[in-house]
Amino acid sequence: MSRKVTKAIFPVAGMGTRFLPATKAVPKEIMTLVDRPLIQYAIDEARAAGITEFIFVTSRGKSALEDYFDAAPELESSLKRKGKTELLETLQATNMESGAIAYIRQHQALGLGHAVWCARRLIGDEPFAVILPDDVVAAEKPCLQQMVEAYEETGGCMVAAMEVPRSKVSSYGVLDVKEDMGNMVSARGMVEKPAREEAPSNLAVIGRYILTPNVLNNLNTMKSGAGGEIQLTDAIGTELENGRDVYGYRFRGQRYDCGSKAGFLQATVAFALARPDLRGEFSQYLDEMMSVRNAAE
């Protein structure tokens, strides 16, 4: 099987309950980090990694996402007329090639594994990436690109991994490490949301994966696992049981959990401070806030 990865699945069918009431009307993936929706960061990362086919697994209430990727001819010509070249370029950078995006519905939120399985007919017999847009990774070289390059050497399945405090392991899929090669580990097993005392390590899986089509076959027969959901982690774990390789890749970069309020706020501050047009004013404001707060304590 070729090791070229050209397709990516974006599972965006979750209900985003942690952001209610906003997510009653706005899909989580459209919420903006500074001035770009989360999904745009995910698309840009995928493009940088060489992805040319983008598969969205959506659900009811996510039509704003489909609209976002539509062309906006009126807006474009209005910006053109007014000579707003920079804004026009920003807008045009979000345009997608016709036919590059496919939408599949997950009719019931049965879990991440089930969402990925819903895209099986669009994958065929080739490796594919999975990107969870609510995990945002700030990195010099985009996270998926790092992984695609590593995957060309290893094959197998690869998950992005990072060390987390022991107290947090129960929020993640966790790797049981067979061999530690530094920026990469080979896994012996994987467990979804283990209790702290049962976690095989503190090396947690975050929302970037490169998977082989075998994983989709494993999902064909998958029963629900942790939290009553069909877990992607379990389907990847089955690869290990079948004697195939699974690697954890310690990416270089800072990951933000934009599926949680605290993570989203942290990402907002970090991304704003990284922007030359905002940094000065914003950091001055933060300094003032902190001194007022410190004085009050």
Chain residues that interact with ligand UTP, rule: CB under 6 A = 11-18, 28, 57, 106, 109-112, 114-115, 132, 134, 259
Q: Which C-beta is closer to ligand UTP: that of 38 or that of 199?
A: 38
Q: Which helix (H) or strand (E) holds 287?
A: helix 276-296
* Closer to ligand UTP by Cβ: residue 206 or 272: 206
Shortest distance, position 32 Cβ to ligand UTP, whole Å: 16
CB of 208 to ligand UTP, least distance (A): 12
Closest among 124, 149, 129, 156 to 10, alpha carbons compared: 129
Q: For ligand UTP, which is the closer residue by CB, 186 or 260? A: 260
Q: Smallest distance from the beta carbon of 143 to ligand UTP, in angstroms?
A: 15
In the complex, minimum distance from the CB of residue 98 to ligand UTP, in angstroms, rounded to a whole number:
25
Report how far residue 106's alpha carbon sits from residue 60's, in angstroms, rounded to the nearest whole number. Answer: 9
- Rounded to a whole number of angstroms, the minimum distance from the CB of residue 209 to ligand UTP is 12
Q: Which residue of this chain has its Cβ atom nearest to ligand UTP in the complex?
A: 14
Q: How many residues comprise the chain?
A: 297
CB of 180 to ligand UTP, least distance (A): 27
- What is the Cα–Cα distance from 196 to 218, expressed in whole angstroms? 27
CB 270 within 8 A of CB 279: no
d(CA 6, CA 1): 13
CB of 248 to ligand UTP, least distance (A): 19
Q: Which of 132, 155, 141 is nearest to 4 (CA)?
A: 155
Q: Which of these, 263, 213, 260, lies nearest to 239 by C-alpha position?
A: 213
In angstroms, give the least distance from the CB of 227 to ligand UTP. Answer: 9
Please tell me the distance from the alpha carbon of residue 206 to that of residue 257, in angstroms, as a whole number: 9
* Nearer residue to ligand UTP within complex by CB, 64 or 109: 109
**Strand ranges for 116-274 from DSSP E:** 128-131, 135-138, 157-163, 173-180, 184-192, 203-211, 246-250, 254-257
Beta strand spans in 139-172 (E): 157-163
Nearer to ligand UTP, 34 or 109 (CB): 109
Residue 34 to residue 48: CA distance in whole angstroms: 21
Which token pair is 124?
């065929």
**Shorter beta-carbon distance to ligand UTP: residue 11 or 142:** 11
What gap in Å lies between CA 13 and CA 104, rounded to an integer?
10
